[in-house]
Structure formats: structure tokens, C-alpha cells
Structure 1
Amino acid sequence: MAIEPPSELIELQRASDAAHEAVRQNPSDESWAAWRERAGEVQSAVTAYATEIGEPRNKVEAAVKKAVRHPEPEA
């Protein structure tokens, strides 16, 4: 079964990736704190969703990251 992550998880991952890019551009205490917060939100949401659908957390996380970083082309 292919895991189709919900849009909420995709948006959380996008926010985390954007916060990570902010750290790369300006590694200040504030940008690090923002990235840690966004990453924690993603991890919590992924864990909850994985539990809800009965799939391993790491497979859900991989599906979310793939959907964000390597999306399928539009049909």
C-alpha cells in the first residue's frame, strides 16, 4: 500500500524545510530555534498519523519527504 500523506503533513514539512533553509542562510539562534520547533511539529504529526493508519513511522516520514521534495509530475 502506497502511503498518501495528507496535505497537513505536507505543509508542515514544507514549513520545516523553509526553516532549515533560513538556518542555512542565516544561522542565528532564532533561526535554529524556529527550525527545531517546525521539525518537532513534523515529527509529532508524522508519529500521530502513522499510528492512526497503522504504518511504521519511518515509512510515513519517507512518504511525506518524497511528496515535498520529489513530487510526482502533474498528470
Structure 2
Amino acid sequence: MADIEFPDSLLALERSAWENIQAGTLTVATARAVQDGIAAFAEQSGIPRYDVEMGLKRAVRHPAAEAA
């Protein structure tokens, strides 16, 4: 999963959602946008949706682990 090249737009959506989660302000619309982006990317890339979601969360929430 570490080698998935996520588009900047999907990374930005997940960053926004993560900031909202931490602030307690996540909306259904934001969560839906992230899930829709994940599903579209998974379909386009042929990577299983679960792997896309976990890789994206890891890239945004634990960037130091990705760099190692």
C-alpha cells in the first residue's frame, strides 16, 4: 500500500476530513465526498477499495510512517 500514488485532490479531501474529525466538525457531506473519491480511485486504479482507504488514511494520518 505504501506505493499508491494518490491524486492531490483525494489527499486534500482526506486531510480536510481528518482535520474535521479532530475538531469534532465532520459533516456527512465531507465524509461522503471522501468515500466517493476513494471508490472512484479504487475503480479507476484497479486497487481494492479497502487498500485504497487504508493507504490514504495512513498517508494523511501517519506521514512519517510512509516516509520510512
- Which bin holds the TM-score, normalised by the shorter protein? 0.7 to 0.9
Which moves more between the two structures, 34-43 or 48-57?
34-43
The answer to whether the 8 Å contact 1:46/1:57 transfers is yes
| SS in structure 1 of the partner of residue 27 of structure 2 | helix
Unaligned runs of 5+ in 1: 24-30
C-alpha deviation, 1:35, in angstroms: 2.4
| SS in structure 2 of the partner of residue 59 of structure 1 | helix
The residue identity in structure 2 corresponding to 1:3 is: I
The answer to whether the 8 Å contact 1:5/1:63 transfers is no
Q: 1:36 aligns with which of 28, 35, 60?
A: 28
Q: Matched residue pairs, number?
A: 65
The residue identity in structure 1 corresponding to 2:6 is: P
Which residue is equivalent to 1:49?
41
* RMSD of aligned alpha carbons: 1.9
Which residue is equivalent to 1:70?
62
| Aligned residues with identical type, % of pairs | 39
Moved over 2 A (4+): none
Mapped to 2, the partners of 1:8 and 1:59 lie a distance apart of 18
TM-score by length of 1: 0.74
Q: Which has the larger radius of gyration?
A: 1
